[in-house]
Amino acid sequence: MTTTTPALVADGPGAPFIARQVERRTLGADDVSIAISHAGICHSDIHQVREEWGTAIFPMVPGHEIAGVVTAVGDTVTQVKVGDRVGVGCMVDSCGECEMCKDGFEQHCERGAVMTYNGRGYDGEPTLGGYSQSVVVSERFVCPIPEGIGMAEAAPLLCAGVTTYSPLKRWGVGPGTKVGVVGLGGLGHMGVKFAAAMGAEVTVFSRTSAKATDALALGAVEHVATSDPQALRPLRNRFDVVLNTVSADLDMNAYLRTVKPRGVLVNVGLPTGDYALKPGLLVGNSRVFAGSNIGGIPETREMLEFAARHGIGATVEVIDAADVTAAYDKVVAGDVRYRYVIDVSTIRA
Ligand code: NAP
Ligand code: ZN
């Protein structure tokens, strides 16, 4: 039997959120039903609600940083049980059979992973995300939240956490590595926490000095205010890894110059414009310009364990459902410290 749940719904591109009931599917044999407590606001939610990435599916319920408690499980579910604290990230299904799925990189599924919202399930039905009070998800895409991480602090780990953990790990960040993190927002602050916990020496690039004290408190050793056009000059060839998390167009060449020979500038930001790269900056110092797309489910589970071991959660501002529309403008202005998380019990519909 399908159920209904209160949710925050945007009816068209850029529309304000309206609280109303939406439907959740009948619990299947491998499904888990989750009572959501918190949902993070990722900048990707804003890009999609505002159709900055192209045509989107409406009505839309965003939310792919989901934390909640299991309320029911299907007959074949073995990995979680009623009462467990769990998270759901950006994906809710994939083919499970292709090379990428078998290797634990479901985000690169050949058939196309089913995204948590603004996607369509393999049955053709639109998916609706975590700005709601319950969700039904295949157990393959449910990740246990370890003891010691609060629910509000855990929710953003399901996207911002794994999106930064994954490239730092892939590019070998560890003790002695020098890492630059560009943009101190939801992703950026997680990048700083993870890189510092991996043993790296972290420099934060932020537009102004407003977040300088925070950058050091999060684990960085240095903060650079990029509003000063000369600020990057002394940092040429400094970093093994630069992680760009900025949500807007940016001069990549300026940051490429800060990468050591054979080092990497890995981009996770998804602005709408193009980046212009000077070939000489890549070739001359054998630098790598890379991208990274969230993380697979095994890596998400590993990241949650790593976070628990190192006492890492997101730094959050918990808000009511009524404040989400206004919060979007604050995120775009860079005015969030460092992730808005919705207390979904405040959604009244
Ligand atoms: P966010 O919280 O808004 O953080 C972005 C940060 O970028 C801001 O805090 C700000 O940092 C900086 N920034 C914003 N506008 C800027 C501008 N005009 N010029 C220079 N810097 C600017 O966003 P988020 O949730 O971390 O997401 C960041 C980006 O990553 C988004 O584009 C999002 O869609 C994308 N994303 C990608 C993946 C993936 O899998 N690759 C996953 C999730 C999100 P300062 O105030 O410190 O300058
Ligand atoms: Zn996200």
DSSP 279-340: HHHHHTTT-EEEE--S--HHHHHHHHHHHHHTT----EEEE-GGGHHHHHHHHHTT--SSEE
Q: Please list the ranges in the chain whose pLDDT falls under 70.
A: none
Residues of the chain with CATH 3.90.180.10: 3-158+315-346
Q: Which ligand is nearest to the CA of 291?
A: 1
Cα dist from 26 to 30, 136, 174, whole Å: 11, 8, 45
Ligand 1 site, residue 334, Cβ cutoff 6 A: yes
> Which homologous superfamily does the CATH classification assign to the domain defined by 3-158+315-346?
Medium-chain alcohol dehydrogenases, catalytic domain (3.90.180.10)
Ligand 1 site, residue 107, Cβ cutoff 6 A: no
- Which CATH fold would you assign to the domain 161-291? Rossmann fold (3.40.50)
Which residues are within 8 A (CB) of 244 and not within 5 positions of it... i.e. 6 or more apart? 182, 183, 250, 252, 255, 265, 266, 267, 268, 269
CA–centroid distance, residue 210 to ligand 1 (Å): 16
CA–centroid distance, residue 284 to ligand 2 (Å): 34
pLDDT at 304: 98
pLDDT at 34: 98
Measured by CA distance, the residue closest to atom 22 of ligand 1 is: 246
Which residues are within 8 A (CB) of 25 and not within 5 positions of it... i.e. 6 or more apart? 2, 31, 125, 136
pLDDT at 312: 98
Helix (H) or strand (E) holding 136: strand 134-138
Residues of the chain with CATH 3.40.50.720: 161-291
pLDDT at 1: 86
pLDDT at 229: 86
Which residues are within 8 A (CB) of 80 and not within 5 positions of it... i.e. 6 or more apart? 32, 70, 73, 86, 139, 142, 144
Q: Which ligand is nearest to the CA of 186?
A: 1
CA–centroid distance, residue 330 to ligand 1 (Å): 12
Q: Which residues are within 5 Å of ligand 2 (an ion), measured at CB?
A: 42, 44, 159
What confidence tens digit (pLDDT) does each residue in 107-161 have?
A: 999 999 999 999 999 999 999 999 999 999 999 999 999 999 999 999 999 999 9
DSSP state of 250: -
What is the widest separation between alpha-carbon atoms in the chain?
63
